[in-house]
A and B are shown apart, each in its own frame.
Chain A
Amino acid sequence: MVIARKARTAGRGALAVAAGLLLATSALAADPIKIGLVAALSGPSAQSGEAITQGLTIAIDEINAQGGVLGRPLALVKRDDESSPPKGATAARELIYDEKVAAIFGGLDTPVSLAIVPIANKEHVPYMGVWAAGTPITRNGAKENYAFRVSAVDVMVDEALLKYAQKHGAKKPGLILINNPWGESNEKGLREEAQKLGITLAGVEKFEDRDVDVTPQLTRLKNAGADALILVANAAPGAQMMKSRERMGWKVPVISHWGVSGGRFPELAGPTAGDVVFVQTYSFFGDQKPAGKKVLAELAKKYSVKGPEGVISPVGVADAYDAMHLLALAIKKAGSTKGDAIRTALHQIDEYPGLIKTYHKPFSAQNQDALGPDDYIFVRYEGTKIVPVH
């Protein structure tokens, strides 16, 4: 029995060595620049990881078709963080020490990103956020900050939400926020922005992830004279809020952070799902510029995505696509895959015509977020499709 087990172990060892040799030789032959991705590839947010993968893959294939960067092809190395910060941190270390990636892309979860950023800063490996909106991801107070982002930022989303409400005639919006750190960080942001914009808030109400009925909270806001609701919550609790609003027969406009777009919101919220206007960075609906047409064509070819309604998460695809191109541009500019050289080069990017917009000096040492409040668009659900609001 013992002997048999030993023999088996030895066999496995030999196999591993052989496989290792094979990998090593092929790597030497191609010698690609490795690009890491740590995102949720399984679990309730798996769609987000899939969308980011699609965006990155399309960009990488485009770059490789034109001869790669510094004469080397780019290769994507993916790791699943299962939305868990410790798993994300372990994966990031593995990518840095073992795979020697030139940069790491991040996923949807702010807590995971916050766990990886200190590692990236310490190891001088650029971290490119393409979804998670937590403000401290890029504004982390590090002296040499390696965290960059092509996505929304909570504080700026808060500003955009209030401005949208104001533009559409709201005088006294009420806040209805999920009771967790994400809701709390947005409460802070929304209060500060409201003060700056001279908006009086009707009130601030919190609700729990598992609340069945949010009517008491909403009734308080209604009695306080709220003429618009600012919602910060994920799809399931957001849907419970909408069901309570429907029961009250309250037709108040709802303006939301993009949390509602992460799950089956139309199914969960029912007939009033379309009443929620929420923020996105990009939409594949409407007139597309050449870049948009090209990405849609690639999505159709590679992932059999049928038209804009087939794009599972426009945000993930578009942010990842632009961020990958910006990073490749910086590697080229730096003439090296060393982290500090790439970081400096990212700051030096002048102009880049991307998918979301034409970037002018997207990054600087003071601001490592490429997108601002003017780049956000507002959308709503029409059936299960996400369509822009005009």
Chain B
Amino acid sequence: MDLFVSALVTGVGLGSMYGLLALGFYVTYAVSNTVNFAQGSTMMLGAVMGFTFGVTLGLPWIVAILAALAVCVAWGVIVEAIGVRPFAARGSDLWLMATVALGLILENVVLFTFGKDPRGMPASALSAEAFSAGGLRVSVLQVTIPVVGLLIAVALHLATRYTRTGKSMLAIVQNPDAARLMGIDVRKAIVGAYAVSGLFAGIAGLLIAPLFTVSSSMGTLFGIKAFAVAILGGIGNPWGVMVAGLMYGSAESLITAAFGSTYTQIVTFGLVIVALALRPDGLFGRAGVKKV
């Protein structure tokens, strides 16, 4: 019993990280039907910048965090400007490859500047024990991650329903040309979405860094899993994305607990494929209606 309680606690922690990262896919997809495939690299950038500003340069933490997030936002805007817009404007799908390429370039630049040696974020008040469940100590940070993720999901949900900006976003999704004619600045909205997406990835990176090791390749596998989560959740629904993240993380650690680690990746990704075969629009997505 202990085994499953502790696996569930672990799974929720991991799952909310995937969910948080996957929300970054959601925001850009909602506005432009494009995503930054290398979202994992942006997450890594957040962690690396946090370490550089906070540990290497020794800036006060609040400054380091804001600076790292600013870099991630800027990177999101850059990705949109050179990796997405030139291709999307011509109706091409090559942004797919371009964003992957930009992610690889970023990883290699970090490899040469930050170094190949993985680094460890020092323990802070966030690593203190919050409570224990199933014999497992849960740190403040591990509680913070799901809370932040769920708050962002709620905020996104409310924003698209009740704010002017949110509604204009929905208008853009439905019909960009009509939205433009109605006086909505489509380009600005898309750039904004990429900036927010960079911000989410940066937050994820900063939250994950103390639990993990900081290195240029830390984001790759995370990015892939987060994309699986985004698709699984039905990429057009922030709630769904977050819940899918929690489900994915829990499945991952429950499978490890039940069958051993050898089968984890095989079974979890297998389950994703089965789930998508049964519900092609994701677990919480609505089928898009194609109008001819």
The finding on whether chains A and B are genuine partners in a shared complex, rather than unrelated, reads yes
Which residues of A are at the interface with B, using a C-beta cutoff of 8 A? 43-44, 179, 203, 205-208, 210, 212-213, 215-217, 219-220, 223, 235-236, 239-240, 243, 246-249, 263-264, 267-271
Cβ-defined contact, A215 with B218, below 8 A: no
**If the complex has contacts A212-B211, A248-B136, are A264 and B118 also in contact, measured as CB distance less than 8 A?**
yes
In angstroms, how far is the closest chain B Cβ from the Cβ of A388?
25
Q: How far is A210 from B17 in the complex, measured between Cα atoms in Å? A: 14
Closest B residue to A42 by beta carbon equals B116
**If the complex has contacts A215-B136, A215-B253, are A240 and B116 also in contact, measured as CB distance less than 8 A?**
no
In angstroms, how far is the closest chain B Cβ from the Cβ of A270?
6
Cβ-defined contact, B261 with A217, below 8 A: yes
**If the complex has contacts A213-B13, A216-B256, A220-B257, are A263 and B2 also in contact, measured as CB distance less than 8 A?**
no
In angstroms, how far is the closest chain A Cβ from the Cβ of B173?
34
Please indicate the chain A residues that have their CB under 8 angstroms from the CB of B217 in the complex: 210
Please indicate the chain A residues that have their CB under 8 angstroms from the CB of B10 in the complex: 213, 215-216
Closest B residue to A217 by beta carbon equals B261
Cβ-defined contact, B3 with A249, below 8 A: no
Cβ-defined contact, B120 with A217, below 8 A: no
Cβ-defined contact, B137 with A216, below 8 A: no
Cβ-defined contact, A43 with B2, below 8 A: no
In angstroms, how far is the closest chain B Cβ from the Cβ of A56?
24
Q: B7 within 8 Å of A by Cβ? A: yes
Please indicate the chain B residues that have their CB under 8 angstroms from the CB of A235 in the complex: 118
**If the complex has contacts A236-B213, A270-B123, are A263 and B118 also in contact, measured as CB distance less than 8 A?**
yes
A sample of 21 inter-chain contacts (CB < 8 A) reads: A44-B115, A203-B260, A206-B260, A207-B261, A210-B221, A212-B17, A212-B211, A213-B14, A213-B253, A216-B253, A216-B256, A217-B261, A219-B7, A220-B3, A235-B118, A239-B213, A240-B212, A248-B135, A264-B117, A268-B119, A268-B120
Q: Which B98-136 residues have a C-beta within 8 angstroms of A?
A: 115-120, 123, 132, 135-136
**If the complex has contacts A210-B217, A240-B213, are A219 and B120 also in contact, measured as CB distance less than 8 A?**
no
Q: How far is A249 from B139 in the complex, measured between Cα atoms in Å? A: 12
Q: B215 within 8 Å of A by Cβ? A: yes
Residue in contact with B6 in the complex, picked from A206, A215, A240, CB distance below 8 Å: A215
Most chain B Cβ neighbours within 10 Å, of A207, A219, A263: A219
Cβ-defined contact, B137 with A267, below 8 A: no
Q: How far is A210 from B223 in the complex, measured between Cα atoms in Å? A: 12
Interface size for B (C-beta < 8 A) is: 37
Most chain B Cβ neighbours within 10 Å, of A205, A206, A216, A263: A216
Residue in contact with B117 in the complex, picked from A205, A216, A247, A263, CB distance below 8 Å: A263
Closest B residue to A179 by beta carbon equals B261
Say whether chain A's binding surface is mostly helix, strand, loop, or mixed. Answer: helix
In angstroms, how far is the closest chain A Cβ from the Cβ of B275?
21
Q: B169 within 8 Å of A by Cβ? A: no
Name the 5 nearest CB pairs between A and B, nearest first. Answer: A216-B256, A44-B116, A268-B120, A236-B118, A216-B257
In angstroms, how far is the closest chain A Cβ from the Cβ of B199?
22
Q: B208 within 8 Å of A by Cβ? A: yes
**If the complex has contacts A216-B261, A219-B6, A219-B257, are A44 and B213 also in contact, measured as CB distance less than 8 A?**
no
**If the complex has contacts A236-B215, A248-B137, are A271 and B261 also in contact, measured as CB distance less than 8 A?**
no
Please indicate the chain B residues that have their CB under 8 angstroms from the CB of A219 in the complex: 2-3, 6-7, 257
Q: How far is A210 from B217 in the complex, measured between Cα atoms in Å? A: 9
Closest A residue to B5 by beta carbon equals A219
Closest B residue to A46 by beta carbon equals B116
Closest A residue to B259 by beta carbon equals A220
Please indicate the chain B residues that have their CB under 8 angstroms from the CB of A220 in the complex: 3, 256-257, 260
Please indicate the chain B residues that have their CB under 8 angstroms from the CB of A44 in the complex: 115-117
Q: B262 within 8 Å of A by Cβ? A: yes
Cβ-defined contact, A206 with B261, below 8 A: yes
Residue in contact with B14 in the complex, picked from A212, A217, A246, A263, CB distance below 8 Å: A212
Cβ-defined contact, B7 with A264, below 8 A: no
Please indicate the chain B residues that have their CB under 8 angstroms from the CB of A268 in the complex: 118-120, 213
Closest B residue to A212 by beta carbon equals B212
Q: Which B218-263 residues have a C-beta within 8 angstroms of A?
A: 218, 220-221, 253-254, 256-257, 260-262
Q: How far is A240 from B213 in the complex, measured between Cα atoms in Å? A: 8
Q: How far is A249 from B208 in the complex, measured between Cα atoms in Å? A: 21
Q: How far is A267 from B115 in the complex, measured between Cα atoms in Å? A: 15
Q: How far is A239 from B212 in the complex, measured between Cα atoms in Å? A: 9
In angstroms, how far is the closest chain A Cβ from the Cβ of B102?
21
In angstroms, how far is the closest chain A Cβ from the Cβ of B21?
12
In angstroms, how far is the closest chain B Cβ from the Cβ of A188?
15
Please indicate the chain B residues that have their CB under 8 angstroms from the CB of A267 in the complex: 119-120
Closest A residue to B17 by beta carbon equals A212
Q: Which B1-29 residues have a C-beta within 8 angstroms of A?
A: 2-3, 6-7, 10, 13-14, 17
**If the complex has contacts A44-B116, A263-B118, are A212 and B7 also in contact, measured as CB distance less than 8 A?**
no
Q: How far is A269 from B210 in the complex, measured between Cα atoms in Å? A: 11
Please indicate the chain A residues that have their CB under 8 angstroms from the CB of B260 in the complex: 203, 205-206, 217, 220
Please indicate the chain B residues that have their CB under 8 angstroms from the CB of A179 in the complex: 261-262
Q: How far is A210 from B43 in the complex, measured between Cα atoms in Å? A: 14
